[in-house]
Structure 1
Amino acid sequence: MNITKNAEYFLTRDFSLWVWGKKIFASGTRLYVTDNPVQKPTVAVYPASKPESNGKTTLLCLARDMMPDLVKISWKMKDQNGQTVEVPQGEKEELEQREEGKTTSMIIIDKKKSCLNKYSCSVKHEGGNSETEAPKVTRKEPVTQEVTDDSFQSMCRLNMASLMYTVMILKSLVYCSGFALLLPHINMGIRSRIHHIYLRNVPKLK
């Protein structure tokens, strides 16, 4: 590897210490040597999806176009009292994906809390830190439309149940009619067999 005087050196580490004049790095340490200058990431925050039926909603934070390409993303929220704290682990499901040149963080939170609190994505980088507020998640569909959809689904289920019940009744009627037509023939066969057995077992009169 050729190292020039104009090269930029980036060291990202979790922990390090000096031992006998030597620098010891912990696991996860990465050293960058590049001619490119430090570049602060471009951060965008937006809802990844509409509110789900289970009362959850998803927020997505994208950090890209940075040098070096290592960032630390965390989620914060500002409650109604104006206090800004990190989102508790028990109130979110978080997923982070790192690719070359960009890092994506996604959290799933409660829909009601997302309306009451203000959420923001905090990004730490070699070129500087930034905090971007997430937009409010609103539902465009009116409540009346939801009620109409639920009523329509209930009606469909009711019609399907009625149809299945009607089909079962028709099958029962067909079965009973067929059995009623076959019953005389069955009884005649049984009587004939009983009479035949009786004649075989009764001794003949001399």
Structure 2
Amino acid sequence: MIAIIDYGVGNLFSLSSSLSYLGLENTITRDPQQIEQADHIILPGVGAFADAYQKLEQTNLIDTIKQQTYNGKPLLGICLGMQLLFDKSYEYGEHKGLGLIHGEVCPIQDDLTQPLKVPHIGWNSLHFPKENPLFQYNKEGDYVYYVHSFYAKNCQEDTIATSEYDITITGAVNKGSVYGTQFHPEKSGEVGLKILRAFAEL
């Protein structure tokens, strides 16, 4: 069973539909007991970092999430859900994150050297600086779908995929049982389905 955390932020039903298409049992929940009983956890997210963290606090699930990852249960943060995994974000101020992966979330716009559009929206290819089981069914250059204005920095040690958008965008990270994708696997066609299937096998 895969528990998709419902804290009022995220494209939950698209994600649930993708998992169901793969034949993977899943539930959308904010029940700590269901999360504890699940084999895997997904933390989705769209919108603003501070608002999302506050909503996560209001569900009283932060301790549950952290404890499950400390116990070795696989957790996948998607888009804003991945950003929440980091120490802090500089999205409209400075805000603390879950601290499960070291690094910080910063504006793309501040680092661009070319006049590219922000948000970074659309399909971009993946590059893999190291092998990781999350991408066991994927190949170098596979395209995935991004929608974001902020990106993770100073996390090279835990970076397992990148994309180029004038600068190097952190596409995916992994530390222990904690994984994150800046892109949306559930919006990335067959490539994304392969990633979700690999996550379910971790």
- Quickly name the TM-score band, shorter chain normalised: under 0.3
Bigger RCO of structures 1 and 2 (CA < 8 A, at least 6 apart) = 2
TM-score calculated relative to the size of structure 1: 0.20
TM-score in terms of structure 2 length: 0.20
